């Protein structure tokens, strides 16, 4: 389609525009050919349906590739080895729903694009590619365009198809959000919020701090239950589950892992002691200058690599000539040696860990700057230095695997014997625990309830939802191990439980309410004693046994240790005058907070014109996102109501069957 561009004169410079490929890379993954679905059961074919969205289909192949993308993103953020991660692990974290919802959203967007006639034309695609791969007004040439795309592991067809979808989505977004506007009043209010600063003193009372101190008697709990019986009535069908519990920690204690086994896992390249890095930093002050900074960063990468000339330029010389980081510029960009543990997840320096010695990174956008990194040296750990981490990783991985195998054995035994206590005793002996620690029983619970020792666990709910009395369910991951569930009893909606049946929930609710009352009373007493004066709040709070905190130069959007953040908290702070304190507790989640402004600094209005454009753009972006998502959610709701959005749970169950490991 773009071969006519090959006739154009090639430019003398080429800025590799990685961003355009990265934006659509995730979409391309769904078009990449494959012969099967790695990591899933052999009985899941790639064209089996996961869902139908109107006339669009989501296949098992699309879905598992989406899971794998989320897996890689999760592992990259946490810098974790993926050997112990499974599709079941993703499901426990709720990422199965994230992947499915993202795919459903894509299909809805595709439907709306077709309905409104907003498809990307060949000419629009050509123009966009020519714009992205043009330097100094000249097309780089078809060969270089093709080479660049294929360097990312894609074919031209895959890249252009995903780009078509991306451009069509942008047209739909423009259609839906075209009327979005931000008033001058909103800009002014946001400017004031962002530029008013405070020196704060505050105190926080959290119910969790008092729960263990509350020791209700049986009589108090019974009285509480009698007064609040209706609170314990469920409008959903409830079930009680007996289960065999296989503790991963207990299994771990039975395992011996030799140095020989650890050495098999030891790869020095994966155990980095630290790195020496040089950098070039290109900064910008306002958003309108971001494209210029990006272009300069791309140019410097090209020069440092020698992309066009074949002769790389000296990185240190480029840093001294162009870097805008005053700390490292005169040292040729040298950051010195950085220990691995000092590199925080999410930092731009994480990118250096994936470089080879001497390799130069693509531009990395963080804050209002682009960073270009060169890995000067990588120091790896010896086996002895890495042994502790290797042992922890191996113990976790192998104990998870062994616990899973024992859970399978328990499930088989339970189906044969139908005697859960006998099976629990056998498993307890095998893993070195007590029978009463292995045989467990839940109280009656409904969907969404917080179940003792299990929590609110969608996987456990799904595994037990369709069981009949005496049925044995599939093993399911819960806190600290695996459960093999067996239905003990069910109860229809609307019934009030007996006190004994509800006792655990009664005690939880009683203690939570009493703890909230204590928090409220203590914070109210501190506020009353402070009498609205900022300099008195610290002493009055400490008199109530509450811890106090300080925060200087607080601005809206900042996080307050132990208090958190949120619109309600920010609104209360913005209302404070210098030297005053709140006249009532601010409640954030379950926390009760009192705040005082020791100092308040009003905005510098001379900076309004400088910031107003950026503020307007951010507010408009947020509003467009909210408008577009509401539009898509509205369509999704209508599709559900009309039966045109169908999810095939049986196919999902195959994918999330026993130990399905995410493909690499």
227-252: buried (b, 16+ CB within 10 Å) or exposed (e) per residue? eeeeebebeeebbbbbbbbbbbebbb
Half-sphere exposure of 374 (CA within 13 A, CB side): 21
Other Cβ atoms less than 10 A from the Cβ of 218: the count is 10
Q: Chunk the chain into consecutive blocks of 10 residues (it has 664) and report each block's average pLDDT, rounded to whole numbers.
A: 38 35 40 44 76 94 86 59 61 83 95 95 90 78 82 79 91 94 95 94 95 94 94 88 94 86 77 90 87 90 84 92 91 91 85 90 91 92 81 83 93 94 95 94 88 88 88 91 93 88 90 96 97 95 95 88 88 95 93 96 93 91 94 96 92 68 40
How do residues 310-341 score in pLDDT, each as one tens digit? Answer: 789 999 999 999 999 988 999 999 999 998 88
Q: What is the pTM of this model?
A: 0.58
Token code pair at residue 563: 């208090």
Helix ranges, 323-477 (H): 383-417, 420-431, 435-438, 458-465
Express each pLDDT in 135-193 by its tens digit: 767 888 888 888 878 776 678 888 898 899 999 999 999 999 999 999 999 999 999 99
pLDDT in tens, 67-103: 887 777 666 555 444 445 677 677 777 788 889 999 9
| Distance from C-alpha of 555 to C-alpha of 198, rounded to nearest angstrom | 7
pLDDT at position 102 is 92
Sign of CA dihedral 397, 401, 404, 410: negative
- Angle, CA of 298, 125 and 135, to the nearest 5°: 30
pLDDT computed for residue 598 by the predictor: 96
Handedness of CA 529, 534, 535, 539 (dihedral sign): positive
> What is the C-alpha separation between 485 and 469, in angstroms, rounded?
11
- Determine if residue 450 is left, alpha or beta; phi over 0 gives left, psi from -120 to 50 gives alpha, anything else beta: beta
Taking the CB of residue 216, how many other CB atoms lie within 10 A of it?
15
C-alpha to C-alpha distance for 607 and 126, rounded to whole angstroms: 42
- Residue 31: predicted pLDDT: 42
pLDDT of 435 = 93
CB 136 within 8 A of CB 11: yes
Q: How big is the chain, counted in residues?
A: 664
Q: CA nearest 85: which of 101, 98, 73, 103? A: 73
């Amino acid at each position: 389609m773009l071969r006519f561009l090959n006739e154009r004169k090639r430019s003398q410079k080429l800025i590799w525009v990685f961003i355009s490929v990265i934006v659509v890379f995730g979409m391309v993954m769904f078009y990449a050919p494959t012969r099967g679905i790695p990591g899933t059961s052999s009985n899941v074919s790639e064209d089996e349906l996961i869902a139908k969205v109107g006339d669009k289909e989501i296949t098992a192949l699309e879905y598992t590739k989406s899971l794998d993308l989320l897996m890689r993103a999760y592992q990259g953020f946490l810098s974790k080895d993926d050997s112990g991660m499974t599709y079941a692990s993703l499901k426990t974290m709720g990422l199965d729903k994230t992947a499915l919802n993202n795919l459903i959203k894509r299909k809805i967007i595709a439907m709306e694009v077709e309905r409104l006639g907003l498809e990307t034309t060949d000419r629009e695609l050509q123009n966009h590619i020519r714009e992205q791969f043009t330097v100094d007004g000249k097309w780089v040439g078809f060969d270089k365009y093709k080479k660049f795309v294929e360097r990312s592991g894609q074919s031209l067809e895959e890249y252009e198809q995903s780009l078509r979808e991306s451009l069509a989505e942008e047209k739909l977004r423009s259609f839906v959000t075209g009327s979005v506007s931000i008033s001058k009043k909103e800009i002014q209010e946001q400017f004031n919020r962002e530029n008013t600063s405070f020196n704060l003193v505050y105190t926080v009372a959290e119910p969790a701090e008092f729960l263990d101190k509350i020791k209700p008697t049986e009589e108090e709990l019974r009285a509480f239950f009698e007064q609040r019986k209706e609170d314990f009535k469920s409008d959903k069908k409830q079930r009680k589950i007996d289960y065999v519990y296989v503790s991963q920690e207990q299994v771990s204690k039975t395992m011996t892992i030799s140095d020989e086994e650890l050495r098999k896992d030891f790869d020095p390249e994966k155990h980095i002691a630290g790195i020496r890095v040089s950098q070039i930093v290109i900064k910008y002050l306002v958003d309108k200058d971001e494209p210029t900074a990006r272009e300069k960063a791309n140019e410097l990468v090209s020069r440092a690599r020698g992309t066009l000339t074949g002769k790389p330029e000296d990185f240190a010389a480029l840093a001294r000539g162009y870097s805008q980081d005053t700390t490292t510029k005169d040292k040729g960009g040298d950051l010195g040696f950085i220990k691995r543990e000092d590199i925080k997840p999410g930092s731009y320096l994480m990118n250096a860990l994936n470089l080879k010695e001497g390799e130069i990174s693509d531009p990395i956008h963080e804050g209002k700057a682009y960073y270009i990194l060169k890995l000067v040296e990588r120091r790896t750990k010896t086996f002895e230095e890495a042994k502790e981490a290797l042992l922890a990783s191996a113990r976790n991985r192998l104990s998870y695997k062994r616990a899973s195998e024992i859970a399978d054995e328990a499930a088989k035994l339970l189906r044969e014997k139908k005697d859960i206590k006998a099976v629990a005793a056998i498993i307890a002996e095998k893993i070195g625990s007590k029978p009463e620690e292995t045989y467990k029983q839940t109280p009656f619970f409904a969907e969404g309830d917080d179940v003792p020792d299990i929590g609110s666990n969608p996987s456990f709910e799904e595994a037990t939802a369709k069981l009949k009395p005496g049925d044995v369910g599939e093993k399911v991951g819960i806190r600290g191990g695996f459960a093999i569930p067996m239905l003990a009893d069910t109860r229809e909606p609307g019934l009030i439980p007996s006190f004994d049946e509800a006792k655990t929930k009664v005690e939880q609710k009683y203690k939570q309410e009493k703890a909230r009352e204590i928090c409220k009373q203590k914070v109210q007493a501190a506020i009353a004693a402070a009498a609205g004066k900022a300099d008195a709040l610290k002493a009055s709070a400490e008199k109530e046994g509450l811890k106090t905190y300080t925060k200087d130069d607080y601005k809206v959007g900042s996080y307050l240790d132990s208090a958190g953040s949120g619109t309600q908290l920010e609104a209360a702070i913005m209302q404070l005058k210098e030297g005053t304190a709140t006249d009532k507790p601010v409640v954030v989640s379950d926390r009760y907070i009192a705040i005082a402004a020791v100092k308040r600094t009003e905005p510098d209005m001379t900076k309004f014109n400088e910031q107003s454009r950026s503020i307007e753009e951010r507010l408009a972006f947020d509003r467009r996102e909210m408008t577009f998502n509401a539009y898509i959610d509205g369509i999704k709701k209508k599709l559900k109501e009309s039966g045109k959005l169908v999810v095939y749970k049986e196919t999902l169950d195959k994918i999330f069957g026993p130990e399905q490991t995410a493909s690499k």
